[in-house]
Amino acid sequence: MKTVSAYFLSLLVLIPYSCTKPAGSANTDSHNQPNKVALRQEVSQYGITWTFDKPTQTGQFITGDWWVVGPVRVVKISPAPGPAKVDTSAIKINHWNDTSLKKDTAMRNGSMIVLKAGYTQGYDSRSGSFRQHDAITLPLDLATDRSLISSISNTTLPVDHFNKDLMWDNEKKSQVVMKAAAVLTCLAQEPPADAFRPPYAGTDKPIFRARDIQWDLLPRLQPAGEVPFWEAIERYFQRPWIDHIMSWSQQELVPNENQPPYGREYARLVSMSSLMVLLDVPRERKEKLTIELIQRGIDLYGIAQVGGYWNEGGGHSSGRKWPILFASLMLDNPALAQLPETAVFHEDTQTYYGKGWFGQTVLWQMIIHHGNREPYEEKQPEQWEKWDKTSEGYRTCCNASAWTGTALAARYMKAIKLWNHDAHFDYIERWMREDDPYASARGTYPRPKAETTTFDPFVTAMWRAHRAQAPEQERAGNPRKWALQGKKWGWVSNPK
């Protein structure tokens, strides 16, 4: 299993905060300065243009995403959705000897209305998840309380990913078929000027407002290490992350100019941004990133309400839980954190209490990867079978090192009880503990070098500087383990 030996962020992505270029108020930035409400026959964003049959009342949310008062008839989308003349994609098989892609010319630049999270999409037919019935056809009578997601397809593969500087060398060229995506939201009436974009999934379009942000909840921690370049991290979160495909196949689908393709980098970005907004810097400096992180939580909340869950593979689904809880806290809206039982999260299903082979009492497990996987940390390494060794590889490559920043942020925002899975926090403690009380029990299997640190020096430095001073708080006290019961996964009691 490859380990990360260096941290790459080109174009000065990582420089000390004191050296970043001066920043004005986020309200003066074009990203947070919406165009005025007006009658328009077309609106554009990220290279995508929607044209209506007549001038219609339109405007932008504080995130820059467009809304339209409807119902409205969409007569044209540019680039036009439809078949490709030829397919020049250079599709490669991955190291697992599979791929979710295929040669197919039926659809490029597709659009869809997401009513339910699931396994299919209407954006690009090169993905095996494509279903023609998911793709909208024009003209489209867009009803109120609907969100239209439109896309631009990549014409050739592979492509450079916009967050390639966070990725491993062999992943910098990404095999993703979507290039960009944007969301048009149809509402019954004009929203407030400070409104966030409602969730793009489902038909419930709650309006959340920036005036409700609880800025005083953010601690003022002293920066430690090198703080990521603010504008670079803001760009990572600027566009909508398309996250309604409940399968690893989204790694080869989601737009390379919008979002990270893999859960490891997804969680790393959430970790870094979550700690950055806790820094003792002027509110204007962190306003945009805070708004973007709240918007991510609103979108994930909406997906969870229509059947979304994030529990796929060894590292695919990380980073989805904290943005929802962060949005709930920052907007002082407990309803955002009241998720259906179907909404399970990687960080919770992969951590539990037990008796490990060298004496550890909080353990890690891989749930699903080419089939159901079994817990393995209770067994001596000499007894590990092939998939046990693979699980250990994923434990050290892709998870806790990406979760650490959010665990620290949740501690400082006194959200451990709200998170409702104590084993997650205890596992991070095990991972980041610099001394090793179990050294003598490890025998010929030493502690993995990946432990005690993260991929991101800023996160590691913040943990070491601030973990000891994190406020004590009530814990959830509801230990559960995600376990296979017969043929079905579910929660079982898991006493500490």
- Show the 3-state SS of 50-83: EEEEEEEEEEECCCCCEEEECCEEEEEEECCCEC
- The dihedrals phi and psi of 442, each to the nearest 5 degrees, come to -80, -20
- The dihedrals phi and psi of 41, each to the nearest 5 degrees, come to -95, -15
Q: What is the share, in percent, of the chain residues with pLDDT greater than 90?
A: 81
Lowest-confidence segment of 122-136, 165-179, 387-401 by average pLDDT? 165-179
Residue 469, classified by CB atoms within 10 Å of its CB into exposed (0-12), middle (13-18) or buried (19+), is exposed
- What pLDDT score does 387 carry? 94
Q: What is the share, in percent, of the chain residues with pLDDT greater than 70?
A: 93
- Cis status, amide bond into 139, omega within 30 of 0: yes
pLDDT surpassing 50 at residue 5: no
Structure tokens at 323: 């943005």
Q: Which of 317, 465, 339 is nearest to 403 (CA)?
A: 317
pLDDT surpassing 80 at residue 383: yes
For residue 247, the tally of other CB atoms under 10 A from its CB is 19
Q: How many whole angstroms separate alpha carbon 102 and alpha carbon 154?
A: 14
Please, what sign has the CA dihedral across residues 144, 117, 265, 178? negative
**Residue 301 binned pLDDT confidence (cut-offs 50, 70, 90):** very high
* Mean pLDDT of the chain, nearest integer: 91
- What pLDDT score does 365 carry? 96
Q: What average pLDDT does the segment 300-321 reach?
A: 94
Structure tokens at 378: 């209770």
Q: How many whole angstroms separate alpha carbon 228 and alpha carbon 350?
A: 29
Are 347 and 423 spatial neighbours (Cβ–Cβ below 8 Å)? Answer: no
- What pLDDT score does 248 carry? 86
- What pLDDT score does 91 carry? 78
**Residue 370 binned pLDDT confidence (cut-offs 50, 70, 90):** confident
Lowest-confidence segment of 205-214, 246-255, 358-367, 452-461 by average pLDDT? 246-255
How does pLDDT run across 83-116, given as a tens digit for each residue? 999 887 777 777 676 787 899 999 999 999 999 9
- What pLDDT score does 313 carry? 79
DSSP 3-state percent helix, strand, coil across the chain (nearest 5): 30, 20, 50
How does pLDDT run across 111-137, given as a tens digit for each residue? 999 999 999 999 999 999 999 999 999
Please, what sign has the CA dihedral across residues 471, 477, 483, 487? negative
pTM of the model: 0.92
- What pLDDT score does 89 carry? 78
Are 402 and 319 spatial neighbours (Cβ–Cβ below 8 Å)? Answer: yes
**Residue 171 binned pLDDT confidence (cut-offs 50, 70, 90):** confident
Task: Tell me how far apart the 2 most distant CA atoms of the chain are, in Å.
Answer: 75
How does pLDDT run across 452-487, given as a tens digit for each residue? 999 999 999 999 999 999 999 999 999 999 999 988
- The dihedrals phi and psi of 327, each to the nearest 5 degrees, come to -60, -40
Q: How many whole angstroms separate alpha carbon 310 and alpha carbon 243?
A: 10
What residues have CB less than 8 Å from 304, skipping those under 6 apart?
324, 339, 340, 342, 343
Pairing of strands 362-364, 351-353: antiparallel
How does pLDDT run across 8-61, given as a tens digit for each residue? 333 333 333 233 333 333 333 334 455 799 999 999 999 999 999 999 999 999
- What pLDDT score does 163 carry? 82
Nearest 5 degrees, angle CA 286-CA 348-CA 313? Answer: 95
pLDDT surpassing 80 at residue 348: yes
Radius of gyration of the chain (CA): 22
**Residue 266 binned pLDDT confidence (cut-offs 50, 70, 90):** very high
DSSP 275-320: HHTTBSS-HHHHHHHHHHHHHHHHHHHHHHHTT--B--TTTTTTT-
CA 189 to each of CA 67, 70, 207, 212, 277: distance values in angstroms, whole numbers, following the listed order: 10, 8, 11, 21, 33
pLDDT surpassing 70 at residue 493: yes
**Residue 165 binned pLDDT confidence (cut-offs 50, 70, 90):** confident
For residue 43, the tally of other CB atoms under 10 A from its CB is 21
